[in-house]
Structure 1
Amino acid sequence: MAFGTIYAYQNNPRARVAQTVANYEGLELEWVETNPFAPNKSGFPEGYLQKYPLGLVPAFEKDGLELTESIAIANVAGYNNKAGLLGANKEDAARIQQWTLWANINLLPSLGAWFAPLLGRKPYTKAGAEQAKTALYKETDYLENYLKTRTYLVGDRISVADIFVASALTRGFEFVLDAEFREKNVNLTRFWKTIVHQPEFFKVLNNVEPVAVEKVIDPVQPKKEEKKPKSAPAPKPKAAKDEEEEPVEAAPKAKHPCEALGPAKSFPLDEFKRQYSNNETDVALKWLDANFDPQEYSLWKAEYKYPDELTQVFMSSNLITGFHSRLEGSRKYVFGSTGVYGENNNSKIVGVYMIRGSGCLRRRPDYESYSFTPLDFKAPADREFVEGCWAWTNEVDGLKYADGKVMK
C-alpha cells in the first residue's frame, strides 16, 4: 500500500528528494505524472489546479494532508527517521534545514537561471547568461570550500541535506557544470558522485548513470534588425583603392551543442541513414550490427507521456511531425522512427532514437512531454524492439502500428 501520492514529473529535482527519502525509509509513493511545462496546462491532472491554484510542483497527498513545498514533503516522508536522515539531535536538524533551504532558495534557482534558456524555457541573452554564471559560481565556491574537509554536509552520515543539494546539482551537471567546472571543483564533484551513487538515490535515476555535460555551448543571441530609414540615404562616394574598407565578416552562426564532441570517429550515421532508406529494415540492421559504436551513439526508447490526451491518429502523427521539426537543427546527429500505435481515441506514441551526445533531444521544447529509456543494442529484447519500431511491425500493449514518422 502506498504511503502517499506525489504529483511531479520525472526529472523534477525537488520531487526526486521525496522519492529518495521514501526509499531510505522503505516507503512506497504513488507517482502521478504532473508536468507544468506541457502546453496549455495539459500536463496537470484533472482537478489539480483547483486544489493547488498556483500550479506548484511537486505536491503530496496523504489522508487528507495536502502539501506543495518539497522540504515539507521530504520531512513527512522521513518523519519516522529510521534512516537518520533528519539528524540525530536538534542541532543537526537545524543544520540540515539550513542546507535544504540553501539548496532550494540559492543553489537551484541559480542553476535554473543558467540552463533554462538552453531548454528553450526562457529567452536567451548573453548578459543574462553571464549574470546567472556569476550568481551560480558564488554558490558553488561556497560549497566547494565547505566540502574540503567533509564527506557529508552534516555529521558523518548522509542526510536530507545531502540529498537536496545533490539533486539540485544533478540538473546542473546535465546542462552547465561541464568538464572545466568539474576540474576546478573537485570536492563538490566528489560529493555529488558519492550521493547520487547511493542505492536509494541511484534507484530514483532509474539506475541510469547521470549525465555530465562535457562543454557548455550557449545559444548565440539573435541580433536586432535595424530599422530601415524612411528615405534612402545619398549614395556613398566610391573610395579610392587604397581607401577601400575591409570586408565585414558575417556574424557567426549559432553552434549546436553536439559540435563540441567533434566529428564522429568510427560510426558514420549518414551511411546508416542511406542503408535504411535504400534497403529493407532487416538489411539495414545487419549493417548496424557490424558498425554500431555505443561509445559514440546511444539508443533511446521515446514514449509520449500523455496518451489519454491523444484522439485522432492523424493528429497524433502531427505531434510527431512537430517534434521532428523542432529537431531539425540536430538532424545530422539523430536518427529515429516514432509511431502511433492503436486507433482513434485509443493510442500511444512510441519510438526509438539513435543520438550522438546528450544535448540533441534534451534542449528541445518537446523533451519534457516524452519519457526516454536507454536501450542496449546488444541485448536481444532491446534489439528486437528497435527493429520492430524502425520496421513498423511492433505492437505496443496490444496496439498495432497505425502511422508514424522517420527522422533521418
Structure 2
Amino acid sequence: MSSIGTLWTIPQQYSGKRIRAVAAYAGLSVDLPEKYTHFEDNKKPEFLAKFPHGKIPALETKDGFKLFETPAIARYVAALAPNSTLLGSSLEDSALVDQWVSFSDSEIGSHTYLVVQLIRGVLTPYAKPLHTAFVERQVRSLKTLEQHLATRTFLVGERITLADITLASVLQLAFSFTIDAPLRAQLPNVLRHYNTIVNQPQIKDIFGPTEFCEKQAQYTPPAKEKKEAKPAAAPAPKAEKKPKKEEEDEDDDLVPKEEPKAKNPLDFLPKSTFNLEDWKRAYSNKETRGAGGALEWLYQNYDAEGFSAWRVDFKYNEELTQTFMSSNQIGGFFNRLEASRKYLFGSMGVLGETNNSIISGALIARGQDIKPVVEVAPDWESYEYKKLDLSNPEDKAFFEGALAWDLEIGGKKWVDGKNFK
C-alpha cells in the first residue's frame, strides 16, 4: 500500500479517521508525523509556513501539494483511486455523494460538535434552549437518514462511497455524546449502516471500538470553589455606630449578592387536596378497574382545580415501524420528563401492529397548563396535547382505557405501554 504523503492529525480525531479510512479503502495510505503535539506544533513557524491557519487535519503529499479542511482532503484522496468508485460511478452519483457528505457534516457532525462545546462551556455560557435546539435539529436529520436507508444498503448506489465513510466518521462521535440508547432504538437502519461501514476489513482498525452512550451527555455546572480560611486577625476597633437613616442610604448594590434559584412556576400554584404520590401508589397496588380499584380511588380523590387530565398523541405516526421500537420511544420521552416527576403521572402505549401503529395515552398533570410540565423534555413538541373533561363520557372512556391499557383507537388495539410514576 503506497503512501501519498503526511497527514497531520491526532489519532483519536474523528475527521482524521475519516481521511485515513478513505485512503485505506482506496488502497492507499498516509503517514502520520513521528511526533505531533496539538496546540504546540501547529503554532510553530515551520507548520504555519505550510498551513497558515494552523488547522488540522492537514495533508502534504510527497510531491509538495498542501491541503487542509477535512472534506477537501477526503475528496482529493478518494479521487486518487478512480477505480474505487468512492466518488460515484456517474455524474449524478457523484453529485449525490457530495450531497450526503455535506448533509453528514452540517446536520449531524456540526450539531454534535456544538453540543459538546456547549456542555463543556467552550462555546458560550451554557444555555438549555440552545442545547435543546441543537439536539432537535440532529434528531430530525437522523430521521431523514433512517428513512433514506430503510430501502438501501448504502447512501448512494450499491457500493461504499465517500458519503458512507463520512457519515460513519461523524456518527462515531455522535454515538458517544448525543445518540443515546432510546434514540438508537428508533434508528435501526442508521445503526445497521454504521456497523456495516466501520467493520469493513480495510478500515476496522482505523475506526476502532465505539463507545455508545446510554444517556445523552448533559451539562454539569462547575462546583463552587471553597474559600481558603484566612488566619485570624487582631480584633479591629469598634466603629462608631451610624445613625439609622445614614445606614439606609448606603449603596448595597456595590456588594455582589447571590441570586436565589428560580423555582418552577408549578410550585406557586395553590395547594391541592389531591396527592399525586398517593395516586401513584394506588395505581401501582390496585387493579385499575372495578370496585375498590385505582380508578375508583382516583374519582373519589381527584382535585380538578389543582390537576388536569390530558390526551397525548404522537404527531408523526407515519414514521413508526416496529412496535417495540415505538415502545422504546415512549420510554425515552418519559426519561426526558424526569425533572417533572413530582408534577406528573403518565400512561402511554403503542396501538396497532408493525408499520401500522400509533402512540397515544394520557397524562395527569399539576395545574391547568401542560406546557410547564412537559417542556423539560426536548422532544415534547413531537406530541399533541388535548385537555380531557372527565365529566364527558367520551373523554372519560379514553382516559380509563389509557390507564387500564385496553385503549382502542380506530380498530388499533393496545399492544405495549409504559407508565411515568
Q: TM-score scaled to structure 1, two decimals? A: 0.50
Q: In structure 1, what is the equivalent of residue 54 of structure 2?
A: 55
Alignment partners' CA distance in 1, 2:151 and 2:129: 35
**In 2, Cα distance between the equivalents of 1:179 and 1:118?**
19
Please tell me whether the aligned partners of residues 116 and 177 of structure 2 are also in contact (alpha carbons under 8 angstroms): yes
Residue 210 of structure 1 deviates from its aligned partner by 1.2
Give the distance between the partners of 1:141 and 1:228, measured in 2 at CA: 54
List aligned pairs for 1:73-222, cutoff 5 A: 73-78=73-78, 79-119=80-120, 121-123=122-124, 124-205=126-207, 208-221=208-221
Q: Write the distance in 1 (CA, Å) between the matches of 2:130 and 2:104.
A: 21
Q: In the aligned structure 1, how far is the partner of 2:28 from the partner of 2:190? A: 29
For 1:315-326, list aligned pairs within 5 A. Answer: none
Contact conserved, 2:177 with 2:217, CA < 8 A, in 1?
no
Per mean C-alpha deviation after superposition, the further-off stretch among 70-79 and 170-179 is 70-79
Give the distance between the partners of 1:120 and 1:2, measured in 2 at CA: 39
SS of the residue aligned with 1:88?
Answer: coil
Contact 1:34 1:45 in 2 (8 A): no
**CA separation in 1, counterparts of 2:173 and 2:101?**
16
Cα 1:217–1:77 shift into 2, 3 Å: closer
Q: Which residue is 2:6 aligned to?
A: 5
Contact kept, 8 Å, 1:56 with 1:68, in 2: the verdict is: yes
Do residues 69 (structure 1) and 69 (structure 2) align? yes
- The answer to whether the 8 A contact 1:34-1:44 is kept is no
Give the letter aligned to residue 87 of structure 1.
Answer: G
Alpha carbons of structure 1 residues 91 and 44: separation in structure 2 relative to 1, 3 Å: same
Q: Which amino acid in 1 is paired with 2:70?
A: S
CA drift of 1:203 comes to: 1.7
After TM superposition, the structure 1 stretch with the greater mean CA deviation from structure 2, 11-20 or 26-35, is 26-35
CA distance in 2, matches of 1:10, 1:26: 20
How far does residue 161 in structure 1 lie from its aligned partner after superposition? 0.5
Contact 2:58 2:68 in 1 (8 A): yes
- Alignment deviations for residues 352-387 of structure 1 (CA, whole Å, 9 cap, x no partner): xxxxxxxxxxxxxxxxxxxxxxxxxxxxxxxxxxxx
**What are structure 2's unaligned runs of at least 5 residues?**
225-250, 258-421
Asked whether the 8 Å contact 2:119–2:220 carries over to 1, the reply is: no
| 3-state SS of 2:182 partner | helix
The answer on whether the counterparts of 1:125 and 1:221 sit within 8 Å (CA) in structure 2 is no
* CA offsets 1:117-168 (integer angstroms, 9 cap, x no match): 3455434332221121122122212211111111100011111110001101
Cα offset for 1:186? 1.6
Quote the offset at 1:22 in angstroms: 1.2
C-alpha distance in structure 1 between counterparts of 2:159 and 2:210, whole Å = 22
Task: State the shift of 1:209 in Å.
Answer: 2.1
Q: SS at 2:202's partner residue? A: helix
Q: Give TM-score, length-normalised by structure 2.
A: 0.49
For residues 111 and 231 of structure 1, do their structure 2 counterparts lie closer, same or farther at Cα, with a shift above 3 Å needed? closer
Root-mean-square deviation (Å): 3.0
- The Cα shift of 1:42 comes to 5.3
**Aligned amino acid, residue 186 of structure 1:** P
CA gap 1:232/1:210 in 2 versus in 1, 3 angstroms: closer
Q: Which residue of 1 aligns with 2:401?
A: none
State whether residues 111 and 172 of structure 1, in contact with CA within 8 Å, keep that contact through their aligned partners in structure 2: yes
Per-residue CA distance 1:165-194 (angstroms, 9 max, x = gap): 110110011122110110112211111111
* Structure-2 separation of matches of 1:122 and 1:75: 29
Matches of 2:192 and 2:130 in 1, distance apart? 29
2:211 aligns to what SS in structure 1? Answer: coil
1:382 matched residue in structure 2: none
Greater Rg, structure 1 or structure 2?
2
Count of residues paired in the alignment: 227
Alpha-carbon distance, 1:105 to partner: 2.8
Identical aligned residues as a percent: 29
Letter matched to residue 54 of structure 1 = H
